[in-house]
Amino acid sequence: MTSKLLRYIFILPVIIYTVFLIALPLIYIFVISFFQSDFYGGMIETFTLENYARIFDSVYIGIFIKSLVIAGITTIICILISYPFVLAVSHKNKRFQTILMMLVMIPFLTNSLIRMYGWTVLLRESGIINQILMSLNIISEPLSLMYNNLGIIIGMVYTLIPFMILPLYSSVSTIDKSLLEAASDLGASKWQKFKNIILPQTFPGLFNGALMVFTPALGYFFIVDVLGGGKIMILGNLIKNQFLTARNWPFGAAIAVSLVLITILVIVIYRKLGGKMDKLGDM
């Protein structure tokens, strides 16, 4: 086989893939976001900015803000849980660490929707948590743990936390232990060690995790559907409804393009802070 032919065989798959399965679909979405919709779920191919203007309607602005707040709170809670956990794991011996990190992954090998269904069994009014609390006489009325913002946040944190734990763990494990020992010897407090050694050294992992938690949280409509009870909407639900229920593809596409713009903004910040793109998909 000539090396020229071989070259084409190697290069072609990645070109075909990026052009037809990444670039064209996204360009297509961008194009139809400027189309007009007719009343029958079809599209009229005339240029309009109406879909983007509609986003500034207070109803939709509200959904944008709500989505960003939920994603933000989810990210913060994931950070607050992951840091102490990862540090506690890093104090164990190497063998035990390997086993613990394997155990972290096990729940995530079942489908995420099925795990959400597990949470409904726990959280609903007649669910296990309420049953236990009531039988212990801690509460007399069942608590509303789902079909509200609390349920959504629990679901989001649960689904996305491995994306925070994994990068944080790998950056914590690169910290030179002797640095921490030296700091202790010199009389540094726990907080000083965390602030001056651990935090700066784990920034890359922290940003990586924050990005991998924040942006998916804007789109996970099924968590909101299952644990939010159908009244609450985030951007993911809005896009889903426009494409499958209301059948207004141009407006749905305009919201999707806005979601892409938010993602790009987050990535620009990530890169400005020195984040590497390859680290994001390296799990």
- Using CB under 8 A as the binding rule, the residues of this chain from 109 to 128 that contact other proteins are 109-115, 117-122, 126-128
252 CB neighbour count, 10 Å cutoff: 23
Work out whether 136 is an interface residue with other proteins (CB under 8 A): no
Of 52-60, 145-153, 195-203, 231-239, the window that binds other proteins (rule: CB under 8 A) is 231-239
Q: How far apart are CA 166 and CA 106, in angstroms?
A: 13
Work out whether 254 is an interface residue with other proteins (CB under 8 A): no
Shortest Å distance, C-beta 268 to other proteins: 11
> What is the crossing angle of helices 199-217 and 249-272, to 10°?
180
Amino acid residing at 200: P
Out of 81, 150, 188, 197, the residue judged to bind other proteins by CB under 8 A: 81
Report, in this order, helix, strand and coil percent for the chain, each rounded to 5. 75, 0, 25
Residues of span 175-204 touching other proteins by CB under 8 A: 177, 180-181, 184
Shortest Å distance, C-beta 203 to other proteins: 19
Out of 1, 136, 138, 186, the residue judged to bind other proteins by CB under 8 A: 1
CB of 26 or CB of 273, closer to other proteins:
26
Distances (CA, A) of 175 to 155, 165, 193, 201, 268: 32, 16, 12, 7, 26
CA angle 176, 178, 182 (to 5 degrees): 130
Q: How far apart are CA 134 and CA 95, in angstroms?
A: 42
Shortest Å distance, C-beta 49 to other proteins: 20
Work out whether 65 is an interface residue with other proteins (CB under 8 A): no
Residues of span 22-61 touching other proteins by CB under 8 A: 22-26, 28-29, 32
170-209 burial: b if 16+ Cβ within 10 Å, else e = bbbbebeeeebeebeeeebeeeebeeebbeeebebbbbbb
Phi, psi of 270 (to 5 degrees): -55, -45
CB of 79 or CB of 100, closer to other proteins:
100
Residues of span 86-105 touching other proteins by CB under 8 A: 88-89, 91-92, 94-95, 98-100, 102-105
Work out whether 253 is an interface residue with other proteins (CB under 8 A): yes
Shortest Å distance, C-beta 182 to other proteins: 10
Work out whether 85 is an interface residue with other proteins (CB under 8 A): yes
